[in-house]
Amino acid sequence: MSARERLQEEKKEMQRDRPFGFYARPKRKPDGSTDILFWECGVPGKPGSIWARPSGEGYKIDVKFSEDYPMKPPECKFNPPIFHPNIFPSGTVCLSILSEDKDWVPTITIKQVLFGIQELLDNPNLSDPAQADAYNMMKTDKAKYVEAVKKLAKAYT
């Protein structure tokens, strides 16, 4: 199965069984057609967590798939970037299931990736930091980190 065929199936699955607060859909090109290899997604903070947004809306993530998907993982990037120990300042997500060298397997779906990112928000992997400021703040002053995240969640657009 080609990357494009697999992504069409995943798109149908998300439409059939979309978890509350999440979304995942191919982006529209300027001509109005869709780009099956470039998706816009949303991941909500878990209810009651520091990442939960007052509006209930999710955090925007751009997901780029290659023609080698699912043999190679997609690239996931928060847009705009967020303050988190495992999110690079560029917005790119540092998560083991998104790394060919770590835990990526071709059976992982976009839905599983989005759930993994949601879990990462609340449970950063401090042994694999990607953003020094967020990592250092969480290690040295967790209350300040929590305050910064709550402020971001409230102001995020």
Q: Catalytic residues, which ones?
A: 94
Distance CA 35, CA 151 (A): 34
Q: In this structure, what token pair is assigned to residue 139?
A: 């290690």
Burial (CB count <10 Å: 0-12, 13-18, 19+), residue 16: exposed
Nearest to residue 77, comparing CAs of 58, 96, 64?
A: 64
Q: What is the DSSP track for 51-93? A: T--TT-PPEEEEEE--TTTTTSPPEEEESS----TTB-TTSBB
Helices (H), the chain: 3-16, 110-122, 132-140, 142-155
